[in-house]
């Protein structure tokens, strides 16, 4: 990587949501930096593609088909992965509805994936680190939606705000064990999750989002993955409880 602080040789990382988007880009980049990567997702075909990309980049990858809302399944996968040094809890979903139209099912589903799934992964990986007496880095995935009210994104925004508080609380509790916990809060990133519309509507949405950034573009998964790598590495060894925002400088709600 050109800087020894980013060398992850000999370390092991667990990445949820690794079948596509930010999760896939993070898995590939962590592996390129030398980490053995354990990739988890419900999408087995996507996991297979991620494994191929990691292998092509000369990295080592193990796949774990996994529903992050199943605590027992998360525990089993983390146990199977063995001693872990890094967690990137990226798995998430997006749901759009007005506040008045939001149902219990909507809220429960989004909270289950976007908050509970992160909580379960952090709990299981941290327990393993503490049992081994090993330092480590837990990286959660928040969102730019926590910084401003976003019409139609109540469930998503609430779940991501909960991730921010989880991150800060874990950083306080796990610091004495030399376990760092930080969150990434991306702006608009071009991923399968944000590409929910037909091509014309998607183009309009991305054009609007690009105007909000001084850089004049929307983000790519790799833009976020580099932030994940920074938090996973020794380059961020004195950072914990922080919320990093790879958002192109955008300040308006999306």
For position 100, which CATH number holds? 3.40.50.720
Q: Rounded distance, CA 234 to CA 219, Å?
A: 25
Interval 25-51 mean pLDDT: 98
Q: What is the DSSP string of 125-144?
A: HHHHHHHHT--EEEEEE--G
* 73 vs 216: which has the higher pLDDT: 73
Catalytic annotation, pick one of 120, 156, 188, 254 = 156
- Asked, for residue 176, whether it belongs to a domain, the answer is yes
Mean pLDDT of 111-117: 98
Q: Which residue has the higher pLDDT, 145 or 82?
A: 82
Q: Is residue 37 assigned to a domain?
A: yes
What distance in Å separates the CA atoms of residue 80 and residue 150, rounded to the nearest whole number?
A: 39
Residue pLDDT, tens place only, 2-36: 567 899 999 999 999 999 999 999 999 999 999 99
pLDDT at 37 over 80: yes
User: Is residue 163 scored above 90 in pLDDT?
Assistant: yes
Concerning whether 156 is annotated as a catalytic residue, the answer is yes
pLDDT of 203 higher than 70: no
Whether 208 is in a domain gets the answer no
In a domain, 254, yes or no: no
Residue 201 placed within a domain: no
Q: Are 63 and 55 in contact (CB under 8 A)?
A: no
Question: What are the tokens at 231?
Answer: 């938090």
Cβ–Cβ < 8 Å for 56, 31:
no
Q: How many domains does the chain have?
A: 1
Domain-embedded: residue 57: yes
Where would I find the H helices in the chain?
A: 21-32, 44-56, 71-81, 104-111, 117-132, 154-174, 199-211, 221-232
Answer yes or no: is 1 within a domain. no
The pLDDT of 142-158, averaged and rounded, is 91
Domain that holds residue 140: 7-190+221-244
pLDDT above 90: residue 69: yes
Q: Decide if 250 is inside a domain.
A: no
């Amino acid at each position: 990587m050109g800087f020894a602080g980013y060398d992850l040789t000999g370390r092991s990382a667990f990445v949820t949501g690794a079948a596509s988007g930010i999760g896939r880009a993070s898995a590939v980049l962590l592996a390129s930096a030398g980490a053995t990567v354990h990739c988890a997702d419900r999408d087995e075909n996507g996991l297979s593609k991620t494994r191929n990309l990691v292998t092509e980049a000369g990295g080592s990858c193990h796949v774990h088909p996994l529903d992050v809302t199943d605590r027992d399944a998360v525990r089993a996968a983390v146990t199977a992965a063995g001693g872990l040094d890094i967690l990137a809890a990226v798995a998430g979903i997006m749901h759009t509805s007005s506040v008045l139209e939001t149902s219990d099912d909507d809220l429960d589903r989004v909270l289950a994936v976007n908050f509970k799934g992160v909580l379960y992964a952090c709990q299981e990986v941290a327990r393993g680190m503490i049992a081994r007496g090993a330092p480590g880095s837990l990286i959660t995935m928040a969102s730019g939606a926590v910084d401003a009210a976003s019409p139609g994104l109540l469930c998503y925004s609430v779940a991501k705000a909960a991730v921010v508080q989880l991150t800060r609380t874990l950083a306080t509790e796990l610091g004495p064990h030399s376990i760092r916990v930080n969150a990434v809060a991306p702006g608009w990133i071009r991923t399968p999750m944000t590409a929910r519309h037909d091509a014309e509507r998607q183009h309009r949405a991305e054009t609007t989002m690009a105007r909000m950034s001084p850089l004049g573009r929307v983000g790519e998964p790799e833009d976020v993955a580099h932030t994940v790598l920074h938090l996973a590495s020794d380059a961020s060894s004195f950072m914990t409880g922080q919320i990093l925002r790879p958002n192109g400088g955008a300040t308006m709600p999306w």
